[in-house]
């Protein structure tokens, strides 16, 4: 596991459609926000193609560095849905019909609808634990610290609720945002000093353009509200000295 303190995770987005730009990834945001609420910090996100060797290598790298790994995509009924098979190979276990998954899908579809493609969705790594799917029947699965979810955002979101008891996180991560009417170069030096004085707090600055005007959002993240408040007052101190307009803070 990673030597950093706290509980961490990686997200692996699997799919050629994401890399080509045909499909927009919203799952990263959904999973990250959910994990933050459970006290799990997302350390890295990777977007990879539907290629077995790439999936195997990526899984084997990230699962050793993180407490949790979440994959999305590639567990559907089509020929290019190879995530379950690839993860079986990563763990060096059999790729086989999961009897429980088969029964769930058999009950979900009418007899004439339960074709070969849909039966394929019951195949998982040997001894995988299922993640139930309240939206479309086809389950995801867990093997060790790897959690495999579908790529369809609405289905993925509906499945996260059932995983809450599977995740042991730390204190929930709090996020506080200060929006300023300024440019990054104007606050860079002052913000660096605040970060150096508060090394166990994550501080980021993000330019934005709204209603024809530019600004910067400063985002402070920590699992300790008092530390956020210390950073907040230090930021307001230099903002006041520089006479920078505060748009709103949240």
Residue 111 predicted with pLDDT over 90 = no
Residue 4 predicted with pLDDT over 80 = no
Mind listing the pLDDT tens digit for each residue in 25-70? 999 999 999 999 999 999 999 999 999 999 999 999 999 999 999 9
Mind listing the pLDDT tens digit for each residue in 224-248? 999 999 999 999 999 999 999 999 6
User: 68 with 167: CB under 8 angstroms?
Assistant: yes
pLDDT at 250: 53
Averaged over 192-211, what is the pLDDT?
Answer: 93
Same domain, 189 and 156: no
Residue written as token pair 């300790």:
224
pLDDT at 71: 98
pLDDT at 5: 57
* % of the chain residues with pLDDT over 70: 97
Residue 249 predicted with pLDDT over 70 = no
Same domain, 24 and 116: yes
Same domain, 48 and 130: yes
Residue 134 predicted with pLDDT over 50 = yes
Is position 134 within any domain? yes
pLDDT at 213: 86
pLDDT tier for residue 2 given thresholds of 50, 70 and 90: very low
We report the CATH number of the domain holding residue 205 as 3.30.70.600
Residue 59 φ/ψ, nearest 5 degrees: -60, -45
Averaged over 197-224, what is the pLDDT?
Answer: 92
We report the CATH number of the domain holding residue 59 as 3.40.980.10
Mind listing the pLDDT tens digit for each residue in 162-187? 898 899 888 888 999 999 999 999 99
pLDDT at 148: 98
pLDDT at 7: 92
Same domain, 188 and 150: no
Last residue of a domain, one of 166, 186, 214: 166
Same domain, 14 and 119: yes
Same domain, 40 and 147: yes
The domain tally of the chain equals: 2
Same domain, 190 and 66: no
User: 243 with 189: CB under 8 angstroms?
Assistant: no
Residue 131 predicted with pLDDT over 50 = yes
pLDDT at 3: 43
3-state SS class at 24: coil
pLDDT at 210: 84
Same domain, 207 and 128: no
Residue 106 φ/ψ, nearest 5 degrees: -60, -40
Q: Which two tokens stand for residue 97?
A: 């019909």
Same domain, 46 and 155: yes
Residue 193: which domain range?
A: 174-249
3-state SS class at 179: strand
Same domain, 105 and 228: no
Same domain, 36 and 58: yes
Is position 197 within any domain? yes
Same domain, 20 and 76: yes
Is position 153 within any domain? yes
- The number of helix segments (H) and strand segments (E) in the chain equals 9, 12
How does the average pLDDT of the chain come out, rounded?
Answer: 93
Q: Which two tokens stand for residue 53?
A: 């060797």
Is position 2 within any domain? no
Averaged over 196-213, what is the pLDDT?
Answer: 92
Averaged over 120-136, what is the pLDDT?
Answer: 96
């Amino acid at each position: 596991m990673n030597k950093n303190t706290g509980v961490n995770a990686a997200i692996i987005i699997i799919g050629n459609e994401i890399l080509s730009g045909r499909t927009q990834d919203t799952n990263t945001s959904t999973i990250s926000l959910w994990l933050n609420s459970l006290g799990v910090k997302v350390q890295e996100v990777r977007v990879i193609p539907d290629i077995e060797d790439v999936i195997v290598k990526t899984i084997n790298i990230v699962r050793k560095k993180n407490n949790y790994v979440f994959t999305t995509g590639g567990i559907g009924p089509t020929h290019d849905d190879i995530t379950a098979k690839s993860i079986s190979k990563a763990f060096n276990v059999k790729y086989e019909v999961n009897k429980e998954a088969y029964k769930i899908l058999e009950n979900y579809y009418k007899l004439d609808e339960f074709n070969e493609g849909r039966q394929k969705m019951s195949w998982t790594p040997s001894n995988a634990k299922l993640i139930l799917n309240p939206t479309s029947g086809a389950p995801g699965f867990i093997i060790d610290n790897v959690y495999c979810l579908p790529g369809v955002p609405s289905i993925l979101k509906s499945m996260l609720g059932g995983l809450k008891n599977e995740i042991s996180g730390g204190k929930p991560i709090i996020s506080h945002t200060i929006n300023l009417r300024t440019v990054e170069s104007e606050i860079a030096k002052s913000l660096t000093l605040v970060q150096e004085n508060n090394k166990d707090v994550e501080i980021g600055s993000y330019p934005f353009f709204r209603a024809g005007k530019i600004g910067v959002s400063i985002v402070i993240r920590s699992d300790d509200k008092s530390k956020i408040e210390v950073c907040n007052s230090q930021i307001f101190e230099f903002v006041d000295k520089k006479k920078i307009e505060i748009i709103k803070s949240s």
